[in-house]
Protein backbone atom coordinates (compact mmCIF):
# COMPACT_ATOMS: atom_id res chain seq x y z
CA UNK A 1 0.00 0.00 0.00
CA UNK A 2 2.83 2.38 0.85
CA UNK A 3 4.31 1.76 -2.57
CA UNK A 4 0.98 2.67 -4.23
CA UNK A 5 0.62 5.77 -2.01
CA UNK A 6 4.13 6.89 -2.95
CA UNK A 7 3.35 6.37 -6.63
CA UNK A 8 0.16 8.42 -6.23
CA UNK A 9 2.10 11.23 -4.57
CA UNK A 10 4.70 11.23 -7.35
CA UNK A 11 1.91 11.11 -9.92
CA UNK A 12 0.18 14.10 -8.34
CA UNK A 13 3.47 15.99 -8.21
CA UNK A 14 4.06 15.24 -11.87
CA UNK A 15 0.58 16.51 -12.70
CA UNK A 16 1.20 19.72 -10.76
CA UNK A 17 4.55 20.23 -12.50
CA UNK A 18 3.00 19.57 -15.89
CA UNK A 19 0.19 22.03 -15.17
CA UNK A 20 2.68 24.66 -13.97
CA UNK A 21 4.74 24.10 -17.10
CA UNK A 22 1.62 24.64 -19.18
CA UNK A 23 0.89 27.89 -17.36
CA UNK A 24 4.48 28.96 -17.79
CA UNK A 25 4.35 28.21 -21.49
CA UNK A 26 1.11 30.17 -21.85
CA UNK A 27 2.63 33.11 -20.00
CA UNK A 28 5.65 33.07 -22.28
CA UNK A 29 3.41 32.95 -25.38
CA UNK A 30 2.41 36.56 -24.81
CA UNK A 31 3.71 38.82 -27.59
CA UNK A 32 4.34 42.54 -27.27
CA UNK A 33 4.60 44.37 -30.59
CA UNK A 34 5.72 47.94 -31.18
CA UNK A 35 3.54 50.54 -32.86
CA UNK A 36 4.23 54.08 -34.00
CA UNK A 37 2.47 57.03 -35.57
CA UNK A 38 3.96 59.89 -37.56
CA UNK A 39 1.25 62.33 -36.43
CA UNK A 40 0.98 63.70 -32.87
CA UNK A 41 -0.45 61.64 -29.98
CA UNK A 42 -3.52 63.92 -30.01
CA UNK A 43 -4.29 63.15 -33.67
CA UNK A 44 -7.23 60.81 -34.24
CA UNK A 45 -5.02 58.39 -36.18
CA UNK A 46 -2.97 57.82 -33.04
CA UNK A 47 -5.55 57.97 -30.26
CA UNK A 48 -8.76 56.83 -31.99
CA UNK A 49 -7.49 54.40 -34.62
CA UNK A 50 -4.16 52.83 -33.64
CA UNK A 51 -4.77 52.82 -29.90
CA UNK A 52 -8.37 51.61 -30.13
CA UNK A 53 -7.45 48.92 -32.66
CA UNK A 54 -4.64 47.77 -30.33
CA UNK A 55 -7.15 47.47 -27.47
CA UNK A 56 -9.47 45.49 -29.74
CA UNK A 57 -6.63 43.12 -30.67
CA UNK A 58 -5.65 42.60 -27.03
CA UNK A 59 -9.26 41.74 -26.20
CA UNK A 60 -9.70 39.47 -29.23
CA UNK A 61 -6.50 37.53 -28.38
CA UNK A 62 -7.39 37.38 -24.66
CA UNK A 63 -4.26 39.36 -23.81
CA UNK A 64 -1.83 37.21 -25.75
CA UNK A 65 -0.95 40.06 -28.15
CA UNK A 66 -0.23 43.53 -26.78
CA UNK A 67 1.29 46.71 -28.15
CA UNK A 68 3.80 49.30 -27.03
CA UNK A 69 3.53 52.73 -28.68
CA UNK A 70 6.96 54.14 -29.51
CA UNK A 71 7.63 57.65 -28.25
CA UNK A 72 9.01 58.64 -31.65
CA UNK A 73 8.28 57.38 -35.14
CA UNK A 74 11.48 55.75 -36.48
CA UNK A 75 11.41 57.32 -39.95
CA UNK A 76 10.08 60.21 -41.98
CA UNK A 77 6.40 59.65 -42.77
CA UNK A 78 6.95 58.57 -46.41
CA UNK A 79 9.44 55.93 -45.21
CA UNK A 80 6.93 54.13 -42.98
CA UNK A 81 6.40 51.17 -45.31
CA UNK A 82 10.13 50.44 -45.34
CA UNK A 83 10.38 51.01 -41.57
CA UNK A 84 7.78 48.30 -40.92
CA UNK A 85 9.16 45.96 -43.57
CA UNK A 86 12.67 46.27 -42.13
CA UNK A 87 11.57 45.81 -38.52
CA UNK A 88 12.23 49.31 -37.15
CA UNK A 89 8.65 49.17 -35.87
CA UNK A 90 6.18 46.28 -35.97
CA UNK A 91 2.91 48.05 -36.81
CA UNK A 92 2.14 51.37 -38.49
CA UNK A 93 0.39 52.94 -41.49
CA UNK A 94 1.08 55.23 -44.42
CA UNK A 95 -1.01 57.22 -46.86
CA UNK A 96 -0.68 56.15 -50.48
CA UNK A 97 -0.16 59.83 -51.36
CA UNK A 98 3.33 59.58 -49.87
CA UNK A 99 4.22 56.51 -51.96
CA UNK A 100 2.31 56.95 -55.25
CA UNK A 101 4.88 55.13 -57.39
CA UNK A 102 4.66 52.06 -55.13
CA UNK A 103 0.90 52.08 -54.47
CA UNK A 104 -1.19 52.79 -57.57
CA UNK A 105 -4.43 51.07 -56.56
CA UNK A 106 -5.09 53.05 -53.34
CA UNK A 107 -5.22 56.22 -55.42
CA UNK A 108 -8.75 55.15 -56.49
CA UNK A 109 -10.53 56.67 -53.44
CA UNK A 110 -8.26 59.71 -53.71
CA UNK A 111 -9.90 60.74 -57.00
CA UNK A 112 -12.48 63.57 -56.87
CA UNK A 113 -16.15 62.94 -56.17
CA UNK A 114 -16.10 60.23 -53.53
CA UNK A 115 -18.65 59.58 -50.81
CA UNK A 116 -19.97 62.13 -48.34
CA UNK A 117 -18.10 60.75 -45.32
CA UNK A 118 -14.91 58.98 -44.35
CA UNK A 119 -16.88 55.95 -43.19
CA UNK A 120 -18.61 55.56 -46.56
CA UNK A 121 -15.34 55.97 -48.46
CA UNK A 122 -13.37 53.69 -46.13
CA UNK A 123 -15.83 50.80 -46.16
CA UNK A 124 -16.41 50.97 -49.92
CA UNK A 125 -12.67 51.14 -50.60
CA UNK A 126 -11.98 48.27 -48.21
CA UNK A 127 -14.44 46.04 -50.06
CA UNK A 128 -12.94 46.93 -53.44
CA UNK A 129 -9.40 46.48 -52.16
CA UNK A 130 -9.85 42.97 -50.78
CA UNK A 131 -11.82 41.89 -53.86
CA UNK A 132 -9.62 43.30 -56.62
CA UNK A 133 -6.38 44.84 -55.35
CA UNK A 134 -5.14 42.48 -52.65
CA UNK A 135 -4.41 39.60 -55.10
CA UNK A 136 -1.99 41.90 -56.99
CA UNK A 137 -0.20 42.49 -53.67
CA UNK A 138 1.12 46.04 -53.83
CA UNK A 139 1.88 45.69 -50.11
CA UNK A 140 4.31 42.84 -50.67
CA UNK A 141 6.90 42.74 -47.89
CA UNK A 142 4.49 43.53 -45.07
CA UNK A 143 1.29 41.98 -43.75
CA UNK A 144 -1.55 44.29 -44.75
CA UNK A 145 -4.22 44.46 -42.05
CA UNK A 146 -6.59 47.03 -43.47
CA UNK A 147 -7.18 50.07 -45.67
CA UNK A 148 -9.23 53.21 -45.03
CA UNK A 149 -9.53 56.84 -46.10
CA UNK A 150 -9.73 60.21 -44.44
CA UNK A 151 -12.73 62.50 -44.82
CA UNK A 152 -13.49 64.38 -48.04
CA UNK A 153 -10.53 66.59 -48.98
CA UNK A 154 -11.22 70.32 -49.04
CA UNK A 155 -9.49 73.63 -49.84
CA UNK A 156 -8.10 75.93 -47.15
CA UNK A 157 -6.13 79.14 -47.72
CA UNK A 158 -5.01 82.45 -46.26
CA UNK A 159 -5.61 84.68 -49.31
CA UNK A 160 -9.13 84.69 -50.78
CA UNK A 161 -12.39 82.82 -51.25
CA UNK A 162 -12.28 80.14 -53.96
CA UNK A 163 -15.44 80.39 -56.06
CA UNK A 164 -14.03 79.31 -59.41
CA UNK A 165 -10.98 77.40 -60.63
CA UNK A 166 -9.23 80.58 -61.73
CA UNK A 167 -9.10 81.77 -58.09
CA UNK A 168 -6.43 79.11 -57.44
CA UNK A 169 -4.10 80.36 -60.18
CA UNK A 170 -0.55 80.71 -58.87
CA UNK A 171 -1.54 80.02 -55.27
CA UNK A 172 1.20 78.15 -53.34
CA UNK A 173 -0.52 75.01 -52.10
CA UNK A 174 0.93 72.44 -49.71
CA UNK A 175 -0.29 68.93 -50.52
CA UNK A 176 0.46 65.41 -49.38
CA UNK A 177 1.33 64.28 -52.90
CA UNK A 178 -0.49 61.77 -55.06
CA UNK A 179 -3.89 62.85 -56.36
CA UNK A 180 -3.92 65.90 -54.09
CA UNK A 181 -0.80 67.23 -55.78
CA UNK A 182 -2.04 66.32 -59.26
CA UNK A 183 -5.34 68.09 -58.62
CA UNK A 184 -3.60 71.20 -57.32
CA UNK A 185 -1.54 71.44 -60.49
CA UNK A 186 -4.52 70.70 -62.72
CA UNK A 187 -6.40 73.55 -61.04
CA UNK A 188 -3.59 75.99 -61.77
CA UNK A 189 -2.02 76.19 -58.32
CA UNK A 190 1.70 76.06 -57.59
CA UNK A 191 1.79 72.78 -55.67
CA UNK A 192 4.51 71.35 -53.48
CA UNK A 193 4.62 68.26 -51.27
CA UNK A 194 5.22 68.37 -47.52
CA UNK A 195 4.09 66.08 -44.68
CA UNK A 196 0.87 67.09 -42.92
CA UNK A 197 2.47 67.98 -39.53
CA UNK A 198 4.46 70.80 -41.17
CA UNK A 199 1.35 72.63 -42.36
CA UNK A 200 1.02 75.15 -39.52
CA UNK A 201 4.57 76.42 -39.98
CA UNK A 202 4.19 76.57 -43.77
CA UNK A 203 0.98 78.61 -43.58
CA UNK A 204 2.01 80.88 -40.70
CA UNK A 205 5.33 81.74 -42.37
CA UNK A 206 3.78 82.41 -45.77
CA UNK A 207 5.73 79.63 -47.48
CA UNK A 208 2.30 78.22 -48.38
CA UNK A 209 -0.83 80.20 -49.25
CA UNK A 210 -3.07 77.24 -48.69
CA UNK A 211 -3.34 73.53 -48.11
CA UNK A 212 -5.61 70.69 -49.18
CA UNK A 213 -6.93 68.72 -46.20
CA UNK A 214 -9.99 67.06 -44.67
CA UNK A 215 -11.80 69.24 -42.12
CA UNK A 216 -10.25 67.26 -39.26
CA UNK A 217 -6.85 68.83 -39.89
CA UNK A 218 -8.05 72.19 -38.62
CA UNK A 219 -8.09 70.60 -35.16
CA UNK A 220 -5.25 68.10 -35.56
CA UNK A 221 -2.70 70.66 -36.71
CA UNK A 222 -4.18 73.73 -34.98
CA UNK A 223 -4.81 75.60 -38.24
CA UNK A 224 -7.81 77.61 -37.05
CA UNK A 225 -5.54 80.55 -36.18
CA UNK A 226 -3.89 80.73 -39.62
CA UNK A 227 -6.53 79.62 -42.14
CA UNK A 228 -8.93 82.36 -43.26
CA UNK A 229 -10.94 80.73 -46.06
CA UNK A 230 -12.40 77.27 -46.62
CA UNK A 231 -14.11 75.87 -49.71
CA UNK A 232 -16.13 72.69 -49.22
CA UNK A 233 -16.53 70.41 -52.24
CA UNK A 234 -19.29 67.73 -52.19
CA UNK A 235 -17.67 64.32 -51.63
CA UNK A 236 -14.26 66.04 -51.59
CA UNK A 237 -12.27 67.10 -54.63
CA UNK A 238 -9.60 64.63 -53.54
CA UNK A 239 -9.04 62.06 -50.78
CA UNK A 240 -6.24 60.17 -49.08
CA UNK A 241 -6.11 56.41 -48.64
CA UNK A 242 -4.15 54.61 -45.94
CA UNK A 243 -2.62 51.17 -45.67
CA UNK A 244 -2.27 49.71 -42.15
CA UNK A 245 0.26 46.89 -41.83
CA UNK A 246 2.50 44.70 -39.69
CA UNK A 247 6.03 43.41 -40.06
CA UNK A 248 5.72 40.12 -41.93
CA UNK A 249 8.17 38.15 -39.78
CA UNK A 250 6.34 39.17 -36.60
CA UNK A 251 3.03 38.20 -38.18
CA UNK A 252 4.35 34.78 -39.20
CA UNK A 253 5.51 34.07 -35.65
CA UNK A 254 2.00 34.51 -34.25
CA UNK A 255 -0.22 31.47 -33.78
CA UNK A 256 -2.98 30.83 -36.31
CA UNK A 257 -5.53 31.51 -33.55
CA UNK A 258 -4.02 34.93 -32.83
CA UNK A 259 -3.73 35.77 -36.53
CA UNK A 260 -7.42 34.98 -36.98
CA UNK A 261 -8.30 37.03 -33.90
CA UNK A 262 -6.35 40.02 -35.22
CA UNK A 263 -8.03 39.84 -38.61
CA UNK A 264 -11.44 39.69 -36.93
CA UNK A 265 -10.92 43.30 -35.79
CA UNK A 266 -9.05 44.38 -38.94
CA UNK A 267 -10.16 44.50 -42.58
CA UNK A 268 -13.59 46.12 -42.90
CA UNK A 269 -13.93 46.45 -39.12
CA UNK A 270 -10.80 48.61 -39.09
CA UNK A 271 -12.04 50.62 -42.08
CA UNK A 272 -15.29 51.39 -40.27
CA UNK A 273 -13.48 52.24 -37.03
CA UNK A 274 -11.18 54.69 -38.81
CA UNK A 275 -13.97 56.19 -40.89
CA UNK A 276 -16.22 56.86 -37.90
CA UNK A 277 -13.33 58.41 -35.96
CA UNK A 278 -12.51 60.71 -38.85
CA UNK A 279 -16.11 61.76 -39.34
CA UNK A 280 -16.47 62.65 -35.67
CA UNK A 281 -13.40 64.88 -35.82
CA UNK A 282 -14.52 66.42 -39.14
CA UNK A 283 -17.80 67.44 -37.49
CA UNK A 284 -15.98 68.91 -34.49
CA UNK A 285 -13.59 70.78 -36.79
CA UNK A 286 -16.45 72.44 -38.65
CA UNK A 287 -17.64 73.93 -35.35
CA UNK A 288 -14.11 75.09 -34.54
CA UNK A 289 -13.91 76.77 -37.95
CA UNK A 290 -17.16 78.63 -37.32
CA UNK A 291 -15.97 79.85 -33.91
CA UNK A 292 -12.69 81.01 -35.46
CA UNK A 293 -14.66 83.02 -38.05
CA UNK A 294 -13.09 81.21 -40.97
CA UNK A 295 -15.03 82.17 -44.08
CA UNK A 296 -16.67 78.93 -45.24
CA UNK A 297 -17.94 78.60 -48.81
CA UNK A 298 -19.84 75.71 -50.35
CA UNK A 299 -18.34 74.98 -53.77
CA UNK A 300 -20.21 76.90 -56.44
CA UNK A 301 -21.65 75.10 -59.50
CA UNK A 302 -18.98 76.85 -61.55
CA UNK A 303 -16.19 75.52 -59.33
CA UNK A 304 -17.66 72.00 -59.28
CA UNK A 305 -17.87 71.97 -63.08
CA UNK A 306 -14.31 73.27 -63.39
CA UNK A 307 -12.94 70.62 -61.01
CA UNK A 308 -14.80 67.87 -62.86
CA UNK A 309 -13.45 69.00 -66.22
CA UNK A 310 -9.86 69.31 -65.03
CA UNK A 311 -9.89 65.97 -63.24
CA UNK A 312 -10.90 63.91 -66.29
CA UNK A 313 -7.34 63.26 -67.43
CA UNK A 314 -6.24 62.30 -63.91
CA UNK A 315 -9.09 59.80 -63.60
CA UNK A 316 -8.36 58.31 -67.03
CA UNK A 317 -4.67 57.99 -66.16
CA UNK A 318 -5.52 56.03 -63.00
CA UNK A 319 -7.71 53.66 -65.02
CA UNK A 320 -4.88 53.04 -67.48
CA UNK A 321 -2.28 52.59 -64.72
CA UNK A 322 -4.53 50.13 -62.89
CA UNK A 323 -5.19 48.17 -66.07
CA UNK A 324 -1.45 48.00 -66.78
CA UNK A 325 -0.98 46.35 -63.37
CA UNK A 326 -3.55 43.66 -64.07
CA UNK A 327 -6.88 45.12 -62.93
CA UNK A 328 -9.63 46.42 -65.21
CA UNK A 329 -9.41 50.06 -64.19
CA UNK A 330 -12.63 51.27 -65.82
CA UNK A 331 -14.64 48.38 -64.37
CA UNK A 332 -13.26 48.79 -60.85
CA UNK A 333 -13.71 52.58 -60.94
CA UNK A 334 -17.39 52.13 -61.82
CA UNK A 335 -17.87 49.39 -59.22
CA UNK A 336 -16.26 51.53 -56.51
CA UNK A 337 -18.80 54.29 -57.15
CA UNK A 338 -21.64 51.77 -57.02
CA UNK A 339 -20.23 50.47 -53.72
CA UNK A 340 -20.17 54.03 -52.37
CA UNK A 341 -23.92 54.24 -53.03
CA UNK A 342 -24.57 50.87 -51.40
CA UNK A 343 -22.64 51.77 -48.27
CA UNK A 344 -24.31 55.18 -48.03
CA UNK A 345 -27.75 53.57 -48.35
CA UNK A 346 -27.00 51.03 -45.61
CA UNK A 347 -25.55 53.50 -43.08
pLDDT tens, position by position, 319-330? 999 999 999 999
pLDDT tens-digit readout, 149-163: 999 999 999 999 999
CATH topology for the 31-151+239-280 domain = D-Maltodextrin-Binding Protein; domain 2 (3.40.190)
> Tell me, what's the pLDDT at 3?
42
Query: What distance in Å separates the CA atoms of residue 272 and residue 148, rounded to the nearest whole number?
Result: 8
pLDDT for 5 beyond 60: no
pLDDT tens-digit readout, 103-145: 999 999 999 999 999 999 999 999 999 999 999 999 999 999 9
Chain region(s) in the chain for CATH 3.40.190.170: 31-151+239-280, 154-238+292-346
> Tell me, what's the pLDDT at 178?
87
pLDDT tens-digit readout, 254-301: 999 999 999 999 999 999 999 999 999 999 999 999 999 999 999 999
pLDDT for 305 beyond 80: yes
> Tell me, what's the pLDDT at 99?
84
Given CATH 3.30.365.10, say whether it is the number of domain 154-238+292-346. Answer: no
Amino acid sequence: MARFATAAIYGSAALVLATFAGWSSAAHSQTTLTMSSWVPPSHLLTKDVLSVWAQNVEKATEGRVKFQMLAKHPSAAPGTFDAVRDGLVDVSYVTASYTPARHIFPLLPELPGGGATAEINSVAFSRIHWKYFQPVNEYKGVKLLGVFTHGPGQMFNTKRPITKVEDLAGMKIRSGGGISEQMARALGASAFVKPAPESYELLSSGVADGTFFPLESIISFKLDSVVKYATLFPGGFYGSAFGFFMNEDKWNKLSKADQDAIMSVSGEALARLAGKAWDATDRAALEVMKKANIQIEEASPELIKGVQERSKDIIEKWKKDATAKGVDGAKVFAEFHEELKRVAASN
